[in-house]
Chains A and B, each alone.
Chain A
Amino acid sequence: MSETRTLGLALKSTVTVMGDLGSIGEEVLAAHDIKNIDITATYPGKLRQEIHEAAYRRFGAAALLNFGFAMYDHYSFEAVNKAVETYWSVTQDTGPTLEALDAVFQVIISHLDASMKRGHQHDEQVYGVTFHRINPLVYGIQWVTTSLPHHEAFAEGIIHSTIVRFISSDWQHDLVFHADRTTADAAHSTFHWTLSFQLKSDRSITCRELITRYELELKETLLKNVLEDANRSLSTVMSSVKYASRLQRGQLPRPERIQNRFTSFAALWEPRDTIGGDLYWLSSSRLEGPFVLSVVDCTGHGVPGAMLSLLVSNLLERIYAHNTKTNPAEALLALDDHVRRGLNQDQKDSESDDGCDAAILRIDPHQRLLEYAGAKIGLLQVSAQGLLTRHSPARCSLGYQEPIGVDARPQLHTIPYQPGDVFALVSDGISDQVGGPLGKRSYGYRQLEATLTAQAAMSANDIIEAMKKDFADWQGNSARRDDVTAVVFKV
């Protein structure tokens, strides 16, 4: 059996008729690598089925009914117009008659039939629309089409639109679909309806007005379905977000990893939208020797950002699984490599280009030595005397498709410290936050450093509180720009 083909014109009208739902159609075309429809070419009949199916899956039969109803504008109805004119002139004096209805109905159906046949090219099966009269005012309609068996609403919309358009001010119609009589083979479906007419007592309501009413009704049902779909999607998103948030919070250091390691330790961790790409991490309390602290800012927002942060915390856990011997600069390189491979970004055709900024500290309280390496996240140190030192990070990010060049690699800084020295690591969500008197400038580092210097004698908790307050004052009514993370500690 040869393949059913649809004329480009029909396909194009399908996408156009879908109106705002059309993006669904365009997506299907894009999936088949079709950019523009050539209206004179023919395309696999499957394409239109797929477009209809995509809309049907999301918005139900109401979408197909709407498409069918709007399809009218894409057919030429000249022959019908003539018949309808005759109908009105004949019935002007006599009022609506059975003979006139029968005559115009016959033209409408045979014209639909011709239009269907023009839209498709096919080998053996003659498809189109036929009707037979069951008794006066009641007709049986049979429609052979390339539509899928459960897409009958599309054909139904077409029938409604033609009937309403021409004779609805005289006749009320009632279309009953017989689902049990639908038959289908690989290429066609056959649908059956019973269409019954009832004479109206008053022909004062125009067809045009009835079309509007009908359209309004159709739109209302469709709107309801679309809204349902929107709500469903939103709740899926929300539940993913809630879930990610819970997992993400569970990944932050537990108290036993913080206890007994610092004189004081405090962290500010505020994802912009419930979840985010920021995290801070501490090595296991079971491991002997120096311990490791890291602050990471992953690209991406929402669920992907949170998932990346889960991956990164897992990777840190692995790098420092057995001991904490790996120095921070090597650990950053390992992180870079793992993230790239973890996201398959080492593959040529990778669709993602994600990564993270990070700072890793290895702290040896016995020797009062701290090793630091940073990729776009710097380390601030303030001595008990209030002397500020900035330890600058390398200007590279980790994990992106492009591996880090040898020259750009993070350097290892070995930093001696005194008890009472304050250290701070902050993500760029703080420095990039706009605010201030005009709500237009970035927070930057100056104010942060001032707070840090002024509060250096206080506990980490007090410093974070002071930073938080100052930062909130700066932000004022401006919207939060990014995830915000700050870790302050004394060893």
Chain B
Amino acid sequence: MSPPELLKPRTVEVIGRALASTIESMGDFGSIGLEVLKQAGIAEIDLQTWYPIRLRDDMHEAAHRRFGDAVLFYFGFCMSDYYPELLAGLDTQLANYKMLMASSHPLEHEKAVGDYTALCASLYDRATKMSGRFVGQIKPYTVVCSARGKGQFEYLATGYLLPSHHAFSRGILEGMMYHCLAEDWHFSAEFSPDEFTFDGLYSVLPFRYQFERRTQWAGTSAQLSRQYKAEIKESLLKSVIKESNHSLGLINASIRYASRLQQALLPDLVEFKSHFLSAAVNWQPRDVIGGDFWWFKSGGEHREGRLALIDCTGHGVPGSMLTLVVNAALNRIHENTPDLNAAEVLQALDQELRKNLKQEQTTAVWGQDSDDGCDAGLVYFSSQRPWLAFAGAKINLIQKSLTGQMTLHAGSRISLGYRGPLNAAPSLQKIPFTNGDIFVLYTDGVTDQTGGESERPRSLGTKRLLEAVQRCESVDSESVSQSIWTAVSDWQGKGSQRDDRSWIVFQMP
């Protein structure tokens, strides 16, 4: 057999039962193991079947990468709980040890440790032979123990184990040592992982321990084992918290960054307001950043204006990233094809987004979760025209005349950019207005906000929103916006904000 042949991952296998116990001993960390199985396409482990050792390596590696040595040591330490038959009859085997320790002669004690360490080695040896095998060749796992000097013993583990996962082996050894030894002896590991060798298949790991007789009663082995477990848990807790903080730091950094980008993309409010008798914008993402944003362009001798309110799928960082893409697409359409009307722009936006978002759909990985897009409301106006053009994709426009008459101009029941082409073209609405009319564009986060007086939370709904707009007596955008704000927050009460909420109020000159 040529050397590269040796390196094939299938040459070492692990028994199903060992994999199962790995996952079980991982306890709450077990989900990491299950994740590995899922990726390998294994739904359930058959206890009697041999599996490629890769699986266990991957589980250990996934845990180790996130939480370091502490977690592997902990797995190892708990391992013997999952092989009760190994410990069956341990008491009789320990009788000899106890007899020697009862002697007053220190040499006898030394011998007792020797016996005990040999016992641990043979237990470990049996456990590894039960759980792993080399395929197609006779090259067994072995764990042997030998005395190296006064109170010093070396466990030589040869077989298959990634050297970077040495904490697992160490945990197994120490877990076994605690079954009896701890009561009489204090022991400390004295080896360096640098001494470990691994040729891709076969590893040689010498673990050295120094034993010292305890001079003071510290508790039974079982008590000490529990105490030690508490300490391990503590250090594990430390690693997990560290990782958790790290991830949270990444999230917060992303959020801060996204928030900055998003703020920078929003239109200039002063310029926007200059086109109207009055105007107010409420942009209220649920989590600092979100999928809602608004867009405004103006120009031409007649001070033409184009206003859009967009509600992208998702919240948080993904939602905000989508707003960057939609914003760019809108700009592109506006700049490349300025003559399109509002409804045509929505159609162009839909196509642009589908092209942008669906490119990867052919690959299975992205196929699942790529159903993203946006709702949009687009309003075109000009100082020359006594009407404005409105096209909406699931975003409506409220009109309130100076006489208090309310009209809801509903957008088309379509969303943009999602999988599959639009089932209907957005309609273009020509909305006449008179000087002083107030308009409100809003996202569905406003009307979908749950709350209310009744037992079961209900959505605010369009009717209550219209009432809030109508109720407002002052005829200016700021007051209308305030009235909506009050209505929504009162409705929400002590509940939480459900979605990004935005509305834009403007009063035509």
Contact = CB atoms under 8 A, between A and B. Distances in A.
Interface of A: 19-21, 23, 58, 209, 212-213, 215-216, 219-220, 222-224, 226-231, 233-234, 236-237, 239-240, 242-244, 246-247, 249-251, 254, 284, 286, 300, 302-304, 306-308, 310-311, 313-314, 317-318, 321-322, 341-344, 351-352
Contacts of A19: 234
A220 B247 contact: no
B163 to A, nearest CB: 15
Nearest to B356: A250
Given A58-B244, A311-B261, A314-B331, A302 B250 contact: yes
B264 A240 contact: no
Contacts of A254: 355, 359
B203 interface: no
B42 interface: no
Interface stretch (B252-260, B274-282, B398-406, B468-476): B252-260
Nearest to A226: B240
Which 9 A-B pairs give the minimum distances between C-beta atoms? Answer: A233-B247, A230-B244, A321-B335, A314-B328, A243-B318, A303-B254, A304-B257, A240-B317, A219-B233
Nearest to B357: A250
Contacts of B260: 343-344, 352
B261 A307 contact: yes
B100 to A, nearest CB: 27
Nearest to B242: A20
Nearest to A225: B28
Given A231-B31, A317-B331, A310 B325 contact: yes
B236 interface: yes
Contacts of B245: 23
B217 to A, nearest CB: 12
Given A226-B241, A250-B356, A344-B260, A317 B332 contact: yes
A259 to B, nearest CB: 15
B237 A219 contact: yes
Contact of A243 (B253, B256, B321, B355): B321
Contacts of B322: 247
Contacts of B359: 249-250, 254
Interface string B202-236: 00000000000000000100010011011001101
Nearest to B223: A209
Contact of A342 (B250, B264, B317): B264
Contacts of B332: 317, 321
Contact of B318 (A239, A249, A310, A342): A239
Nearest to A223: B237
Interface in B289-342: 314, 316-318, 321-322, 324-325, 327-328, 331-332, 335-336
Q: Which of B236, B264, B314 has the most chain A CB within a 10 Å cutoff?
A: B264
B263 A223 contact: no
A227 B29 contact: yes
Given A303-B321, A304-B254, A342-B265, 20 more contacts: A21-B241, A212-B227, A216-B229, A219-B234, A227-B29, A227-B240, A228-B28, A229-B244, A230-B247, A233-B244, A240-B254, A246-B360, A247-B324, A249-B359, A250-B325, A307-B261, A308-B261, A321-B331, A343-B264, A344-B260
A249 B370 CA distance: 13
Contacts, number: 165
Nearest to B257: A304
Contacts of A213: 226
Contacts of A222: 237
B248 interface: yes
B474 to A, nearest CB: 34
A211 to B, nearest CB: 10
Nearest to B262: A307
Given A215-B230, A246-B360, A247-B322, A303 B223 contact: no
Contacts of B355: 250, 254
B458 interface: no
A344 B360 CA distance: 32
Contacts of B335: 318, 321-322
A342 B261 contact: yes
A322 B335 CA distance: 7
A262 B261 CA distance: 35
A300 B257 CA distance: 11
Contacts of A240: 251, 254, 316-318, 321
Nearest to B320: A307
B148 to A, nearest CB: 33
A344 B325 CA distance: 19
Contacts of B331: 314, 317-318, 321
Contacts of A227: 28-29, 240
B421 to A, nearest CB: 18
Nearest to A302: B250
B273 interface: no
B417 to A, nearest CB: 11
The SS class assigned to the B binding surface is helix
B257 A303 contact: yes
A20 B316 CA distance: 28
A106 B331 CA distance: 74
14 contacts: A216-B226, A222-B237, A227-B28, A230-B240, A237-B250, A237-B254, A240-B316, A302-B250, A303-B258, A307-B258, A310-B321, A310-B328, A314-B328, A321-B335
A236 B28 contact: no
A343 B256 CA distance: 11
Interface string B331-371: 11001100000000000000000011101100000100110
A237 B238 contact: no
Nearest to A231: B31
Q: Which of B238, B257, B357, B360 has the most chain A CB within a 10 Å cutoff?
A: B257
A216 B230 contact: yes
Contacts of A302: 250, 254
Contacts of A303: 250, 253-254, 257-258, 317, 321
Contacts of B240: 223, 226-227, 230
B243 interface: yes
Given A23-B245, A224-B28, A212 B250 contact: no
A70 to B, nearest CB: 11
Contacts of B229: 216
Nearest to B317: A240
A246 B370 contact: yes
B241 A220 contact: no
Nearest to B365: A242
A462 B31 CA distance: 44
A220 B370 contact: no
Given A212-B230, A231-B31, A342-B261, A286 B318 contact: no
Contacts of B28: 223-224, 227-228
B257 A236 contact: no
Contacts of B257: 300, 303-304, 307-308, 352
A313 B244 CA distance: 33
Nearest to A224: B28
A202 B226 CA distance: 20
Contacts of B244: 58, 226, 229-230, 233
Contacts of B314: 243
Contacts of A317: 328, 331-332
Contacts of A58: 244, 248
B247 A246 contact: no
B251 A284 contact: no
Q: Which of B227, B247, B336 has the most chain A CB within a 10 Å cutoff?
A: B247
B325 A220 contact: no
Contacts of B233: 216, 219-220, 223
B247 A236 contact: yes
Contacts of A242: 366, 369
Contacts of A231: 31
A215 B230 CA distance: 7
A246 B241 contact: no
B138 to A, nearest CB: 31
Interface in B174-220: 219
B336 A284 contact: yes
Contacts of A342: 261, 264-265
